[in-house]
Amino acid sequence: MILSLTGFMGCGKSSVGRKLSQLLCCRFMDLDEMIEAEAGNSIPEIFAEIGESGFREIERRVLDRAVLMPPAYNRHTSLTDQYLEIISLGGGTIMTRECAEIVRERTMCVYLRATVETLAEHLEGETQGRPMLKGNVHQRITELMAQRAATYEGAAHIIIDIDGKSADEVAQAIIDSLSRR
């Protein structure tokens, strides 16, 4: 099983994913790092060179390869009965129809949901290197969340509210939720 983590920038997908991989002794993949490795450039450089649409095409290709499943995949078996991998998605990955379908059909998707205030707090001082957050950060987060929230929820099999929680607490909440499935 591949467990994918989705949510807005700053919700802790990479931190929580790394923590989960330690707790569950499984492989962790960061889609943004995989894209940078394939392109040979940073994400801001990719955006500057080929724009968002070019970036999204690379993202779809890399995601498709990353989540290829063995034929015995069964999302309804228990956690201990299957091989597990964790992939942290980019904040906008599931905004393209193709990527949303890949995530929904080939992974157990966990949406790390946060308020705009929490996201703004987490992203304070860290907007460089995030091409989608140019301008007033709080306003951009509000705008983008208005566009994305329904898509995040629609792709998710599990939703975890992260406000006021550490990466350790969020990871444990995911494990608890998975164990109840």
Q: What is the CATH number of domain 2-179?
A: 3.40.50.300
pLDDT, one tens digit per residue, over 153-162 is: 999 999 999 9
Write the DSSP assignment of 57-83 as a string of letters.
Answer: HHHHHHHHHHT---TT--TTS-GGGS-
pLDDT, one tens digit per residue, over 100-148 is: 999 999 999 999 999 999 998 888 777 666 767 776 778 888 999 999 9
Contacts of 88 (CB under 8 A, 6+ apart): 4, 5, 13, 14, 16, 17, 28, 29, 30, 31, 32
